């Protein structure tokens, strides 16, 4: 009995506490009759960094009150079907829905479902803030009960359908119908009614002029399914409405930098809620610079109109960021935000697109962090990368120009965006390590590293333009990460600061010399000249140092350029929203001219800046240091070798000792096979190359030659070096000789009689340089009848 008394006393006490709590909550609740005159209060405003008004949120409220009998029955039933099936039978709240929501929220450990009836939504929208708390839910239910006592169901429906927000400043179904369909509510079709009914749940998220139109259409279909399920419409009506094509009226609103503003507005709504935005008069100062925005919009407009004449590239987007602090200065999401027919309202800076070669710098930077460098040589030859025996998985990437160049340095491979060497660089760098680096720099969309293979370096993963720009800003700042930002300050109508920008820089790449090396390559005009050709002047702006990387995806579905100085990053994407091919063109033809058009104006008043020169210590190991030929030595005998880089390096520790068994690397044989074929095609006697190496032999980085070094010593270049159109031969004569002849690819270039003893510097300017070249130095010693010869293999640096 005592236990029962204790339980009863506890239950009574708990009930008393709960009753008191509910009573206290119900105090000072507004008079339900005020609901008929409810309207939003002070609207919020979005400004650029200089105080220019970009947009007034809810500043142009659209509302037209109409009686219930002017609202079509199908629109009423559509709303009931999706929002409150039991509207006509519940007493203001639906106990079954509340219990279901409680169970769901407990199961998922979050307050996700609210189970609000139409009456509760009306009460919340008119009188309460949108916070998700138990207190607010109780106040909402109490207000709903009072409203149900005051008004009949039909009047509640009329109030709801005249006051609920439908997005884009539309309050009530009449305003929404006119805004979206340019017709009165009474003329709505069943499909249009269902679409409007789908909006109130999340008007900004389901904005017909936003990027989630497809999700809105899916929810519209859900409304129709529920209407059919509840017997509100017939099967025939359902099928007809599902097939109906909905045409939206183009939006007309006073808004500057629309894609950026909608981006900011959505952030504000998610953080503060619509109620706050339309009643608290927030003053939002953004990072955007309206003058820069206008330059960007003008460049995109010019570029798209130009591209449409030479290719079917119908759209473009741009982001401009201040690399010194991560602040977005301009955002252009499409050619024309108001061109709804061509999805102009879709913000392509946030779209997932394949980056093409614009992703390559991540792999190269990771390789530099491992110990590779710009002189490191890999072979650009037709290569099979599939290590299984199943031909179905064959992967043999091609270069954009269908040419294989033989040995190339990483500097030229990146600057000229050569595909095959870049795939090898990704392998050397490591796929997972490269993805992790990209994530650290700001790429947010490569979630599962196991999904990606070696094609990732050619753009096999989808990224967003806004994230690429953020990542390249870390390059510009030599490894320092500044969080990307678009808000400087937010104040409420009382002047209280709700949010204020603060830079939080982080050094995320401690080896800054590796980043400086990457920048040095991407700004190297000479190295990238073979790729850009006559278009190189479109990357360069006067005599400024501009680092840049372009990218073009398969079938030219996407064209990119990300260009930067130490202080600014500009990212441009060109393509079609429906991912259709652009038929003709590349990033150089389609995206680079837009950069040039924008940059000429943008940099007019900007001081010139230079990237810091990297300090790189080059190792002595062949291939790693730019020397193609590795020479092993034992007892004054030399064994010159030409192999792929995996012969000399452990890919995970390139600066360590050469691997004892190179063939243990799964890619070694794949890479070595084309090298052997390439060697056979060289027009020289290679009997001395790739002979079996005695186990006592040691690797010596010396010049290959057949003669004794007692007469002539070649100082520069070394066999395997890369040469330009004009280079210098530096030799040292240790004895007097009668004559010296220099042959280039079997053609006599120079003959020097009685050259002076000691060091000589001879200018070499051949008429034509091939990818692989033979330099022969023939000399005759004094008082000897026969000549001797030194032979070098040299490669074009282009």
Instruction: Please list the active-site residues.
Output: 83, 357
- The alpha carbon dihedral of 539, 540, 542, 546 has a sign of positive
SS3 track for 323-392: CCCCEEEEEECCCCCCCHHHCCCCCHHHCCECCHHHHHHHHHHHHHHHCCCCCCEEEECCCCCCCCCCHH
Task: Check: CB of residue 776 under 8 Å from CB of residue 791.
Answer: yes
Q: What phi and psi values does residue 197 have, to the nearest 5 degrees? A: -65, -25
Please report, for residues 262, 487, 612, the alpha-carbon distance to residue 287 in angstroms, rounded to integers and kept in the order given. 14, 6, 28
| 3-state DSSP assignment of residue 485 | strand
Task: Check: CB of residue 202 under 8 Å from CB of residue 165.
Answer: no
Task: Kindly state the tokens that stand for 212.
Answer: 């989630």
| 3-state DSSP assignment of residue 677 | helix
- Bridge-partner residues for 733, per DSSP? 712, 758
- Quickly list H helices, 523-555: 525-532, 536-539
Query: Do the strands 772-781 and 758-764 form a parallel or antiparallel pair, or are they unpaired?
Result: unpaired
Query: Do the strands 315-322 and 327-332 form a parallel or antiparallel pair, or are they unpaired?
Result: antiparallel
Task: Kindly state the tokens that stand for 478.
Answer: 């030599």
For 110-118, which contacts have Cβ atoms below 8 Å and span 24 or more sequence positions? 116/140, 117/83, 117/84, 117/86, 117/87, 117/90, 117/92, 117/93, 117/144, 118/79, 118/80, 118/83, 118/84, 118/87, 118/156, 118/157, 118/160
Rounded to whole angstroms, the Cα distance separating 51 from 288 reads 10
Q: How many CB atoms lie within 10 A of CB 381?
A: 18
Rounded to whole angstroms, the Cα distance separating 31 from 699 reads 92
Rounded to whole angstroms, the Cα distance separating 792 from 778 reads 12
Q: How many CB atoms lie within 10 A of CB 112?
A: 11
Element (H, E) at 744: strand 737-744
Task: Check: CB of residue 63 under 8 Å from CB of residue 179.
Answer: no
SS3 track for 749-795: EEEEECCCCEEEEEEECCCCCCCEEEEEEEEEECCCCCCEEEEEEEE
- Bridge-partner residues for 12, per DSSP? none
Task: Check: CB of residue 744 under 8 Å from CB of residue 679.
Answer: no
Question: Would you state the torsion angle of the CA atoms of residues 271, 273, 274, 277, taken in this order, to the nearest 10 degrees?
Answer: -60
Query: Do the strands 698-700 and 630-634 form a parallel or antiparallel pair, or are they unpaired?
Result: antiparallel
Task: Check: CB of residue 420 under 8 Å from CB of residue 401.
Answer: no
Q: What phi and psi values does residue 110 have, to the nearest 5 degrees? A: -155, 155
């Amino acid at each position: 009995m005592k236990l029962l008394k204790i339980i009863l006393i506890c239950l009574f006490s708990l009930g008393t506490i709960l009753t008191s709590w509910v009573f206290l909550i119900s105090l000072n609740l507004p008079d339900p009759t005020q609901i008929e005159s409810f309207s939003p209060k002070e609207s919020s405003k979005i400004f650029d960094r200089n105080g220019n008004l970009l947009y007034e949120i809810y500043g142009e409220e659209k509302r037209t009150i109409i009686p219930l009998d002017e609202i079509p029955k199908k629109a009423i039933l559509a709303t009931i079907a999706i929002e409150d099936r039991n509207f006509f039978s519940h007493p203001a709240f639906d106990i079954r829905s509340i219990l279901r929501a409680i169970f769901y929220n407990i199961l998922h450990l979050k307050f996700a479902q609210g189970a609000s009836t139409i009456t509760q939504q009306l009460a919340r929208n008119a009188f309460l803030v949108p916070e998700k708390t138990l207190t607010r839910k109780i106040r909402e239910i109490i207000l709903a009960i009072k409203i149900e006592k005051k008004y009949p169901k039909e009047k509640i429906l009329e109030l709801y359908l005249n006051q609920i927000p439908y997005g884009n400043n539309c309050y009530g179904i009449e305003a929404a119908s006119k805004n979206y369909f340019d017709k009165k509510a009474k003329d709505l079709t069943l499909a249009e009614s269902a679409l409007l009914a789908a909006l109130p749940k999340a008007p900004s998220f389901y904005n017909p002029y936003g990027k989630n139109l497809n999700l809105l259409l899916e929810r519209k279909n859900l409304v129709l399914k529920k209407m059919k399920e509840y017997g509100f419409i017939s099967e025939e009506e359902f099928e007809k409405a599902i097939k109906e094509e909905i045409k939206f009226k183009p939006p007309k609103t006073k808004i500057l930098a629309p894609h950026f503003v909608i981006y900011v507005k959505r952030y504000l709504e998610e953080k503060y809620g619509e109620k706050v935005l339309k009643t608290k008069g927030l003053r939002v100062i953004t990072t955007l610079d309206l003058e820069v925005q206008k330059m960007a919009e003008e460049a995109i407009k010019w570029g798209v109109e130009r591209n449409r004449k030479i290719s079917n590239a119908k759209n473009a987007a741009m982001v401009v960021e201040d690399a010194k602090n991560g602040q977005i200065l301009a955002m252009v999401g499409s050619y024309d935000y108001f061109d709804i027919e061509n999805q102009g309202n879709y913000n392509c800076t946030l779209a997932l697109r394949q980056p093409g070669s614009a992703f390559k710098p991540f792999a190269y930077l990771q390789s530099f962090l491992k110990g590779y460098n710009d002189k490191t040589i890999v072979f650009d030859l037709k290569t099979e990368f599939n290590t299984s025996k199943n031909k179905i998985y064959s992967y043999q990437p091609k270069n954009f120009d269908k040419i294989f160049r033989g040995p190339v340095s990483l500097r030229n491979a990146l600057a000229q965006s050569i595909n095959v060497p870049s795939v090898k660089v990704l392998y050397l760098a490591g796929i997972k390590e490269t993805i992790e680096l990209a994530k650290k720099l700001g790429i947010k969309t490569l979630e599962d590293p196991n999904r990606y293979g070696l094609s990732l370096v050619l753009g096999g993963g989808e990224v967003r333009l806004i994230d690429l720009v953020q990542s390249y800003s870390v390059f510009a700042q030599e490894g320092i990460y500044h969080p990307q930002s678009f808000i400087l300050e937010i104040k409420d109508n009382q002047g209280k600061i709700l949010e204020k920008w603060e830079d939080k820089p982080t050094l995320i790449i401690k080896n800054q010399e590796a980043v400086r090396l990457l920048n040095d390559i991407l700004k190297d005009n000479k190295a990238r000249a073979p790729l850009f050709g006559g278009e190189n002047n479109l990357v360069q702006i006067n005599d400024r140092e501009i680092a840049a990387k372009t990218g073009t995806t398969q079938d030219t579905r996407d064209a990119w350029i990300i260009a930067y100085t130490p202080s600014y990053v500009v990212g441009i994407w060109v393509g079609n929203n429906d991912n259709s091919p652009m038929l003709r063109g590349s990033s150089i033809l389609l995206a680079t001219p837009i950069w040039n058009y924008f940059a000429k104006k943008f940099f007019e008043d900007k001081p010139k800046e230079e990237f810091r020169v990297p300090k790189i210590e080059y190792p002595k190991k062949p291939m790693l240091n730019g020397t193609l030929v590795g020479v092993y030595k034992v007892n004054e005998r030399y064994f010159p070798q030409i192999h792929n880089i995996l012969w000399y390096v452990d890919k995970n520790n390139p600066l360590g000792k050469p691997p004892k068994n190179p063939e243990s690397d799964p890619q070694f044989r794949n890479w070595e096979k084309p090298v052997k074929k390439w060697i056979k095609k060289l027009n020289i006697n290679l009997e001395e190359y790739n002979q079996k190496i005695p186990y006592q032999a040691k690797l010596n980085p010396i010049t290959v030659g057949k003669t004794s070094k007692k007469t002539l010593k070649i100082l520069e270049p070394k066999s395997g070096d890369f040469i330009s159109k004009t280079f210098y031969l530096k030799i040292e004569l240790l004895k007097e000789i009668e004559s010296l002849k220099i042959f280039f690819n079997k053609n006599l270039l120079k003959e020097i009689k009685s050259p002076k003893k000691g060091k000589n510097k001879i200018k070499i300017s051949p008429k034509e340089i091939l990818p692989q070249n033979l330099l022969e130095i023939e000399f005759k010693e004094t008082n000897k009848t026969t000549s001797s010869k030194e032979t070098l293999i040299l490669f074009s640096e282009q």
